Structure 1
């Protein structure tokens, strides 16, 4: 049994913490949002009044925050100081590569250990403990984190040194954002050509256009009963989060001088989507903007 401080009990963090408890670990949570605290209490997760209280005495600290600035501020404002020497920090937010490396350096300077371990798989993956973890850090720290990650996920990949877990996540989500747009565009085109949704799905899901954005996150109701399209695009993974992740991709594109025009265009499209109702809708709901714009 490992004593874990889990900070960030939102849509992803709460089920992840529950799965750690189900695996026999001792978890103390924390969140700034009263609704998240209430939901955690209802799920039987002890919640500390302050983040430093959740960290005190923990062997491992897991953070799941909205953005890199929150991670770095929390580390600098008391989390690292409150932790026992040698605590392993597992940073599972999706943040910029340079922010992940800054967080890692801060943890090391404070006498701790650190891995970045962003996730893919959305709320359903978090609930079912089938997340994918992309991990950056030393071999030794990865080995220690692995049993905990296996309690929350199905596929865990050690991507290399500090920050490279985030690098993998950013590249993955750039592919995801671009593919979700083109699947939505294809369905709108199919509609206007007179092709029924189910026929379109039956062909493409078994042909060269097959992809996750079609077979799991199908943007139209019907063909995939578990897709967000069948629950009025309730996230899932909200459009605002996809816009944020694609912003991180563009930041990396610019920082490396990469010619990645599709990634840039996807970021523009999702930023516009997130400025409207898409902020709180699943990112597959981009199909509504495509219909309205054409």
Structure 2
């Protein structure tokens, strides 16, 4: 198939590269020169405009930071719907607001295209290995039509239901990731301060009740897990700003469904502190530096002072 890909960042470049390796003709677009170069190195034909990217495409995939950008890229006057071939399937693999995804289903369908909201889980390592989990909302028949394309990038594909349900699944999943990441960071620091060998503790935890994907893949102690961002000074990976965005969207979903989410709220607040400290672009596992006290912020200092005051009073 001919595929138009918009958004060639940390996830988009390896994902589109896997499609090239599978024999698809992939044309890509991104505003960032570094992203364009990374995709070109993967064999993607990099274009200068959205129009050129989607011309003649059977499938158009977007992988972008937020729903505002996705909407502009799809619905804008120079966007996908203005230039793609009628009947093409549009797949948005960004992580965006549930209501925004449902709105896009309506606008894309009204313009004569088919649409799937299909966010992914598995991180950069999963994108490179082709083992991502796809959570797909929309018409099951459309999913089956493009399944051969998605399978090249996926370890598992789940049809989660109708429009917006892919995003509902992703936001819930990422909320759980954020919470388990915080627990992993706190456990890693405590284990170290108790004198436990980091590798030994990691090995036993992943076969015990403390196991999680965050522990197995992102354990935030250098030299323990090859895929962990701590080994590269927290560059690349899943940016703090993006996890913060996902947690905010999950909290909005919680509010709309009258669901109390205190743990997610606490982790969102920690992400706020990291953003305040200028670490928005660092991998979110940099949270471990806040846990171990290497970083400080006014918000953190106030929280610690309040806790100490309560303990003294007690």
Number of residue-to-residue matches in the alignment: 293
CA distance in 1, matches of 2:252, 2:126: 27
Q: Distance in 2 between matches of 1:233 and 1:83?
A: 38
Q: What is the deviation of 1:207?
A: 1.3
1:214 aligns with 2:215: yes
Partner of 1:5: 4
Deviation at 1:277, TM superposition (A): 4.1
In the alignment, does 2:140 pair up with 1:152? no
Secondary structure class of the residue paired with 1:236: coil
1 CA distance for matches of 2:266 and 2:197?
Answer: 28
Describe the SS at the equivalent of 1:44. coil
- Give the TM-score normalised by the residue count of structure 1: 0.95
Write the mapping of 1:1-294 to structure 2, written as runs, cut at 5 A: 2-77=1-76, 78-292=79-293
Q: Name structure 1 gaps, 5 residues minimum.
A: none
Is the Cα–Cα contact under 8 Å of residues 71 and 103 in structure 1 kept in the other structure? Answer: no
Give CA deviations for 1:33-63 in whole Å, capped at 9, x if unaligned.
Answer: 2222233333332122210221121111000
Cα RMSD (Å): 1.5
- Summarize deviations over 1:76-131 as a string: whole Å, max 9, x none: 21311211211100000010101111111110010110001101111111111111
Whether contact under 8 Å (2:137, 2:166) holds in the other structure is: yes
Residues 242-292 of structure 1, C-alpha deviation per residue, up to 9 Å, x if partnerless? 111111111111121111111111111112112324312221121101111
Q: Distance in 2 between matches of 1:200 and 1:26?
A: 46
CA distance in structure 1 between the aligned counterparts of 2:214 and 2:172, rounded to whole angstroms: 15
Q: 2-side partners of 1:156 and 1:271: how far apart?
A: 32
Any gaps of 5 or more consecutive residues in structure 2?
297-303, 305-314
Offset at residue 157 of structure 1 (A): 0.6
1:123-172 deviation line (CA, Å, top 9, x unaligned): 11111111111000111111112111101111111101111011110000
**1:279 aligns to what SS in structure 2?**
coil
Q: Which has the larger radius of gyration?
A: 2
The CA distance in 2 between the partners of 1:264 and 1:207, in whole Å, is 27
